[in-house]
């Protein structure tokens, strides 16, 4: 197999190692920090024969995005069990779902400010711990009001995830790679939602909804501990990062022209006057309108309408969000292509 045909696979890694020994020229993709036709050298080349540390970072943020939406979508999968145990009406259930959205919306901007001031390491570790606590406390809800409050606080905890990840990407990822990285991270949200529908349904069937939520809480604690131990806010603080990769990150993580310009204070008036910001908000509103329907009401609708068991309904309901995951990755790649 030619190296070009094995990008992103174990075969590609083996091909690089073999070619390095023979001094061959390999067409490295830009995402690996190389340029087409550039000679690869283990000591000084853009690819040192090991997986770049920023790729491990992307794996961590991708898994965070998956966990974020498994925890978010599991409430939809558990609807019948929760409404039955707590004797909730459809209207009350709607308010439970809305409480999450209110908490999520109100705390996103403050969480972004905290991420800028404190860094992605502390903020992401703290918020994942916080929302995991409220995931577990969902299992302890005893009536409508208690569930309403817990889900509001759960939404407030989850609000900092994407702002925190944005700060991490800003610090670690070269500009020309950010479209793909953001696409990968956003695809994790769709994949997490897709996994939650049949996966959590299976857990609830075997363990009950309270224990299932408790296990999800424990998973969040594990991610937080690993993130705190491994990640550093600035790549210069990360031990084990090769000199080649560090130089590549520092040289390319900012647009040279903008990096040379003196920083301007960020004011609310300038943000609200930005046409690009309003375009992005409009796009995100449209995207989230359908996405949140898929997260909250699609699963119970499919299950009730077509008289499916819990797991089968999950497999049908996961189709739209998996399509969204593919769209995220393709869009991210297109953004990087346009930027270049």
DSSP string, 65-83: HHHHHHHHHHHHHTHHHHH
Report the distance separating Cα 189 and Cα 178, nearest Å.
17
Q: For the ranges 14-18, 210-214, 324-328, which has the lowest average pLDDT?
A: 14-18
pLDDT winner (highest mean) among 97-111, 186-200, 276-290? 97-111
Rounded to an integer, the average pLDDT of 78-94 is 92
- In the chain, the domains with their CATH numbers are 1-49 (no CATH), 53-255+294-339 (1.20.1250.20)
Q: Which tokens hold the place of 131?
A: 């929302």
Structure tokens at 203: 């857990």
Lowest-confidence segment of 12-21, 84-93, 148-157 by average pLDDT: 12-21
Q: Which tokens belong to 210?
A: 């309270």
pLDDT of residue 324: 79
pLDDT band at 120 (very low <50, low <70, confident <90, very high): very high
Q: What percent of the chain has pLDDT over 70?
A: 82
CA distances from 191 to 216, 245, 256, 291 (A): 16, 29, 35, 12
DSSP 3-state assignment of 159? coil
How confident is residue 297, by pLDDT bands cut at 50, 70 and 90?
confident
Q: Can you read off the two tokens belonging to residue 118?
A: 């404190």
249 pLDDT above the threshold of 60: yes
Confidence of residue 125 (pLDDT cuts 50, 70, 90): very high
Q: What is the pLDDT of residue 340?
A: 65
DSSP string, 259-278: HHSPP----HHHHHT-HHHH
Average pLDDT, the chain: 81
pLDDT at position 257 is 59
The pLDDT of residue 264 is above 80 = no
Q: What's the pLDDT score for residue 130? A: 95
Nearest to 80 by CA among 284, 240, 300, 244: 300
148 touches 96 (CB < 8 A):
yes
CA 234 vs CA 50, 237, 241, 295: distances in Å: 20, 6, 11, 34
**pLDDT value at position 262?**
64
Q: Who has greater pLDDT, 290 or 18?
A: 290
Give the distance, in angstroms, between the CA of residue 157 and the centroid of all CA atoms in the same chain.
15
Dump pLDDT digits (tens) for 149-198.
Answer: 999 999 999 999 999 999 999 999 998 888 888 889 988 888 888 888 88
For residue 311, pLDDT beyond 90: no
Between CA 276 and CA 137 the distance in angstroms is 39
Contact (Cβ atoms closer than 8 angstroms) between residue 66 and residue 185: no
Report in angstroms the alpha-carbon separations of 137 from 90, 202, 213, 218, 221: 22, 21, 8, 12, 14
Query: Quick one: 306 exposed, middle or buried, by C-beta within 10 A (0-12, 13-18, 19+)?
Result: exposed
User: CA separation (Å) from 44 to 13, 50, 110, 172?
Assistant: 17, 13, 42, 20
DSSP string spanning 10-59?
HHHHHHHHHHHHHT-B----GGGT--TTPBP-TTTSS--SS--HHHHHHH
d(CA 164, CA 92): 32
* Dist CA 216 CA 218 (whole Å): 5
H-type helices in the chain, by residue range? 10-22, 53-77, 79-86, 90-118, 120-138, 144-158, 161-172, 178-207, 209-230, 243-252, 256-260, 268-272, 275-296, 298-305, 310-339
Degrees to nearest 5, angle at CA 19 with 18 and 25: 170
Residue 40 is predicted with a pLDDT of 38
Global pTM reads 0.75
Give pLDDT tens digits for 136-156. 999 999 999 999 999 999 999
Residue 52 has pLDDT above 70, yes or no: yes
- The stretch 108-125 carries a mean pLDDT of 92
How far is residue 128's CA from residue 160's CA, in Å, rounded to a whole number? Answer: 9
């Amino acid at each position: 197999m030619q190296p070009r045909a094995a990008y992103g696979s174990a075969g590609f890694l083996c091909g690089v190692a073999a070619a390095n020994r023979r001094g061959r020229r390999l067409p490295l993709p830009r995402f690996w920090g190389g340029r087409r036709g550039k000679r690869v050298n283990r000591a000084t080349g853009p690819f040192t024969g090991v997986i770049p540390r920023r790729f491990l970072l992307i794996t961590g943020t991708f898994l965070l995005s998956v966990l974020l939406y498994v925890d978010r979508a599991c409430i939809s999968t558990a609807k019948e069990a929760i409404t039955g145990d707590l004797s909730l009406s459809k209207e009350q259930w709607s308010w439970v779902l809305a409480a999450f959205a209110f908490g999520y919306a109100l705390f996103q901007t403050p969480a972004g400010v905290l991420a800028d001031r404190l860094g992605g390491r502390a903020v992401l570790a703290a918020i994942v711990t916080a929302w995991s606590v409220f995931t577990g406390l969902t299992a302890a809800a005893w009536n409508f009001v208690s569930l309403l409050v817990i889900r509001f606080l759960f939404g407030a905890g989850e609000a900092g995830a994407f702002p925190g990840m944005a700060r991490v990407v800003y610090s670690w990822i070269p500009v020309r790679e950010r479209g793909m990285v953001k696409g990968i991270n956003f695809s994790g949200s769709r994949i997490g939602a897709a996994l939650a529908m049949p996966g959590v349904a299976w857990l609830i069937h075997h363990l009950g909804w309270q224990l299932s939520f408790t296990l999800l809480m424990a998973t969040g604690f594990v991610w937080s501990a690993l993130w705190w131990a491994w990640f550093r806010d600035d790549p210069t603080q990360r031990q084990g990062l090769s000199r080649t990769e560090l130089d590549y990150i520092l040289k390319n993580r900012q647009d040279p022209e903008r990096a040379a310009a003196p920083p301007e204070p960020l004011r609310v008036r300038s943000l609200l006057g930005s046409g690009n910001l309003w375009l992005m908000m409009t796009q995100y509103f449209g995207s989230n309108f359908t996405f949140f329907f898929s997260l909250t009401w699609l699963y119970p609708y499919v299950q009730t309408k077509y008289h499916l068991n819990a797991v089968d309904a999950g497999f049908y309901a996961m189709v739209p969000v998996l399509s969204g995951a593919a769209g995220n990755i393709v869009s991210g790649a297109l953004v990087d292509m346009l930027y270049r």
